[in-house]
Amino acid sequence: MEALHFLADGFSVAFQWHNLLFAFFGVLIGTAVGVLPGIGPMSGVALLIPVTATITSGLDPQSAATSSIIMLAGVYYGAMYGGSTTSILLNTPGESSSVVTVLDGYQMAKNGRAGAALSIAAIGSFIAGIVSLIGLVLLAEPLSDIALKFGPAEYFSLMLLGLCAVSGLAGNSMTKSLTMTVLGLLLATIGIDAVSGVGRFTFNNPNLYSGLEFLTIAVGMFALGEVFKTILEKDNEGTELIKIGRILPTRKDLKDSSGAIARGSLLGFFIGVLPGAGATLASFFSYIMEKKVSKNPQKFGKGAIEGVAAPESANNAASGGALIPLLTLGIPGSGTTAILMGALIMYDVQPGPLLFDDHPQVAWGLIASMFLGNIMLLVLNMPLVKVFSKIIETPKKYLLPSIIAISIFGVYAVQYTVFDLMLLLFFGVVGYFFAKNDYPLAPLVLGLVLGPMIENNMRRALTGSNGDFIVFLQSPISLVFLIFAVLWVVIPMILKMRGRNLVTNEEG
């Protein structure tokens, strides 16, 4: 099978000593990021982009891109592993996809079974990671071959679908999500127009001629935004940590959780492939499904091990599944994959159907490194659970200055301008106010990354049709994508309005 041959080439890249180190440090940092409440994979990946750029500056461009993306992807799925630790020990989710783990994980910890909950979370995450990677290997080439047949009209509609999908499912308010998407698209237009050569929204400032740097905005909004939130809201009080006893699960624990892990892995993978669905949705659905199929549903919420195994497996499988649309179609399915896409573009590597032909070293090296990274995570998480739990106790007075220093030095090392440091601080404050008022940041990042590509493909399609917009409806594939994009936004709005009407009728 051709995919296995390419995967073997990928392992030859992943087994290079420096790439093994990058994968190891990626998953180690990712686990720590997941353990620290509030930081999450998006902030962690954004924060480390300038660090990886500095470390790999001595390598050739192709190797630098491969090593950097291996480390950043390690942070991404490592954070999915680590997010369960605070959910189980502190009743506080490390990131949004671990919210459901709180329900039974913390109850298990209170019953003296914290070790079993943490180990089952690690085992479920490992199995789910391997399942999603097998799916990625099998689907990567066929999807790329299909996508190569797409023209500019199909690409425009597909990217519009990706934007609508993430906007439709991010945050509590559809209006706020769409507002952030449009703001991201507006920010993407700043700079010299590549076609006409005219400056747009530059205000004759030379610093704006090349546009706003994705890295500066991402680090500012996610990393510094979180720092400002902690400082201004005085979110630094300590919480009592539950002690961890026996770590290894019993034979009964393994038997009870095996079905939940299998179902959560498959469900999470297929939900992860859908643009915009993401790990949070996957973990919720897997928990609901497990409760439905259980012979004893009343035990959920009281310390059922299936209530830990299913969502943890689902959110890790979804993180692997989300890489499929990113690598094969060039469509990030979540905020974190949008940041990963921005990092690839920064290294002149364009995700999409040509990635596997133009940059096989990057694509297959990344996939192979994720197999190794999952093994590293299992080896790290099982014996070092007690060590990682100590990270939770890191005082904010040491943690926050470290994040600020990495942000400032990292952005300056890549951009070399004071203007970008001012933008970094500005977007840190803006990110804090947006998050405080429940405006989701992921759609803005996605709009910023996809904006230039949407504009470019729209112009190419309209050039070929002499300015006739009907070109987007003439292609059946483009039409299907546009219909799905509209439905993705409209259906949640209709469901919300129906819910309000039902509440009004009940009150009346």
pLDDT digit string, tens, across residues 10-34: 889 889 888 899 999 988 888 887 7
pLDDT digits 0-9 by tens, 310-337: 888 888 888 888 888 888 888 776 777 8
pLDDT in tens, 92-129: 665 666 767 877 887 888 787 777 888 888 888 889 88
Higher pLDDT, 303 or 261: 261
Mean pLDDT of the region 280-289: 78
* Res. 426: pLDDT tops 90: yes
Query: Which among 42, 442, 26, 77 is positioned nearest to 223, based on CA atoms?
Result: 42
The predicted model gives 153-160 an average pLDDT of: 85
Residue 352 tokens read as 């999409």
Name which of 126, 30, 26 is nearest 66 in CA terms.
26
For 303, left (φ over 0), alpha (ψ -120 to 50), or beta?
left
Provide the mean pLDDT of the chain: 80
Pairwise CA distance, residues 165 & 170, whole Å: 9
| pLDDT score at 425 | 92
Reported confidence tier of residue 211, pLDDT bands at 50, 70, 90: confident
- pLDDT tens-digit series, residues 39-88: 667 777 887 888 888 887 778 888 888 888 889 888 888 887 777 777 77
Gyration radius of the chain's alpha carbons = 22
Report, as an integer, the average pLDDT of 263-275: 82
pLDDT at 278: 64
Summarised one tens digit per residue, pLDDT across range 484-500 is 888 877 887 787 777 66
Q: Nearest CA to 176 among 443, 395, 424, 430?
A: 443
Mean per-residue pLDDT, 276-302 = 77
C-alpha–C-alpha distance, residues 450 and 188, integer Å: 8
Average pLDDT over residues 130-149: 80
Is the separation of the CB atoms in 431 and 167 below 8 Å?
no
**Residue 393, pLDDT score:** 62
The residue among 89, 81, 37 whose CA lies nearest residue 243 is 89
Measure the CA–CA gap between 38 and 36, rounded to whole angstroms.
Answer: 6
Instruction: Supply the pTM of this predicted model.
Output: 0.73
65: closest CA among 313, 321, 336, 342? Answer: 342
Question: pLDDT at position 433, please?
Answer: 92
Q: Which helix (H) or strand (E) holds 411?
A: helix 396-415
**pLDDT of amino acid 183:** 92
Give start and end residues of each alpha helix (H) in 170-277: 174-188, 214-218, 225-232, 251-273
Lowest mean pLDDT across 124-133, 181-190, 378-387: 378-387
Residue written as token pair 């950097």: 68
Angle at 372 between CA 366 and CA 377, to 5 degrees: 115
- Work out whether strand 199-200 and strand 191-192 pair parallel, antiparallel, or are unpaired: antiparallel
Average pLDDT score over residue span 346-356: 83
Quickly state the pLDDT bin for 358 (edges 50, 70, 90).
confident
Calculate mean pLDDT across residues 289-296: 82
- The pLDDT > 70 percentage for the chain reads 86
Could you read off the pLDDT of 447-486 as tens digits, one per residue?
A: 887 788 888 888 888 888 888 888 888 888 889 989 988 8
Q: Nearest Cα to 353, choosing from 73, 142, 134?
A: 142
Give, as one character, the DSSP assignment of residue 240: P
Shortest CA distance to 223 belongs to which of 33, 414, 70?
33
Whole-angstrom distance, CA of residue 500 vs CA of residue 193: 45
Q: Give the span between the Cα atoms of 45 and 441, in whole angstroms.
A: 14
Determine the average pLDDT of the residues in 399-413: 78
Give the residues across from 251 on adjacent strands. Answer: none
Q: What is the DSSP string of 191-221?
A: EE-TTT--EES-TT-GGGTT---HHHHHIII
Distance CA 258, CA 265 (A): 11
3-class DSSP assignment, residue 401: helix
- pLDDT category at 430 given cuts 50, 70, 90 is very high
